Structure 1
């Protein structure tokens, strides 16, 4: 894939995000694909992080904001577009502290590659962490936002559609009529894309599974080695 191909695919992905948001959350916004060195940043248009947010309302009252950022580049084969970083944040309008965050880093070494972080407190949980802190096992026992809840790694992590449905169903934000269809279609497209990536990673596994169901699958002259790293990392 050439640089121009990468730019075009990233722009097409930005259009997908635009269509999803327009079909689910009221208001106007523009999702852009911006070149950053060898990567492309897909995000709302704006001159700063403060302006690159999507207002979330309840009965028309602006109560929160959604921040969306995806960084994309070529995958290890140089053939496919790969999202290497995702930042989804829901921010309260009362302060700048996030309410909830979903983060994904392809190059993460210590925390889970994909995880949720919740900026909330619960006494019984803090009690457990305080004891673990006294034993020297955890830091910041009274700040639950320091916990990283793993959610499926690189291949099986949540998508933007999952967060949007959470905000609509569980948080009651205003939404566009027919949002369910847009979320379901987008989620299916996302999971099919991840499925294709998994098949490329584990081709022999995919071929063996198809053979179990009666398919006749002939291997190419050269079979790529399995790419198992995404299935082992936290």
Structure 2
């Protein structure tokens, strides 16, 4: 699922194209109707792609709605004002029993203390809570909520190497037993391939000299054009 990674004519047009890609992915994987739209964010500098129904996308098990998938993907242009960039994404699976989250996959390009991309698991396990409680006793400033595992932010590769929507969809179908359409795995794999190629392109732009060195080592002839800014953009490689 990706219409990003190529130069964008305009943020509005690129966001609409991205919404269409998300729509096609969900239609190919999950049964039912899912209307995905692109709308301008309140700050007017970004667009948000997500379900038209703010309740989210229904997840069925044996035809029964047991959970929902909430999606919000905030889009802007990158630092060169050329390529579409996801600056924030919220993917939340909620139970229909009490509307509380089960798991979350969150990403913020400008995240502070927590990892830029992370899972949050809304579950409990005694042994894990025991570890956190002991750590809290030693230093309360480091572990502030020892009995709330959902307060932990589990890092998953940062800005460039984080999971994609297709990873979450395959988890829901393959591991959680959510109903799916025929051919869903092919849709997921195709979208994941596009996503990883997009991230590869972005990583290359962040590390052009390193990319050129690798290509030269493989026998390519690579020379920088005059006036090219090839300085490495280190934040994507050092932030967790």
User: Which segments of 5 or more consecutive residues in structure 2 lack a partner in the other structure?
Assistant: 1-5
Change (3 A) 1:140 1:28: same
- Cα RMSD (Å): 1.4
Q: Runs ≥4 in structure 1, deviation > 2 angstroms?
A: 1-4
Distance 1:111 1:2 in 2: 30
Instruction: Give how far 1:70 is off.
Output: 0.2
How far apart are the structure 1 equivalents of 2:165 and 2:12?
Answer: 21
Contact 2:120 2:150 in 1 (8 A): yes
Give the structure 2 partner of residue 122 of structure 1: 125
Q: Among 128, 151, 154, which residue is 1:146 paired with? A: 151
Q: Which residue of 2 aligns with 1:176?
A: 181
Gap regions ≥5 residues in structure 1? none
Structure 2 residue 202 is the aligned partner of structure 1 residue 219: no
| Residues 93-118 of structure 1: per-residue CA shift (max 9 Å, x gap) | 01121000000000001000000000
Deviation at 1:3, TM superposition (A): 9.3
SS at match of 1:23: helix
Q: 2:78 aligns with which of 51, 75, 78?
A: 75
CA distance in 1, matches of 2:91, 2:217: 39
1:2 Cα deviation from its structure 2 partner: 11
Superposed displacement of residue 196, structure 1 = 0.2
Q: Does 1:20 align with 2:25?
A: yes
Q: Tell me, in whole angstroms, the C-alpha distance in 2 between the residues paired with 1:39 and 1:100.
A: 26
Query: How many correspondences in the alignment?
Result: 230
Give the corresponding residue for 1:191.
Answer: 196
**What is the TM-score normalised by the length of structure 2?**
0.93
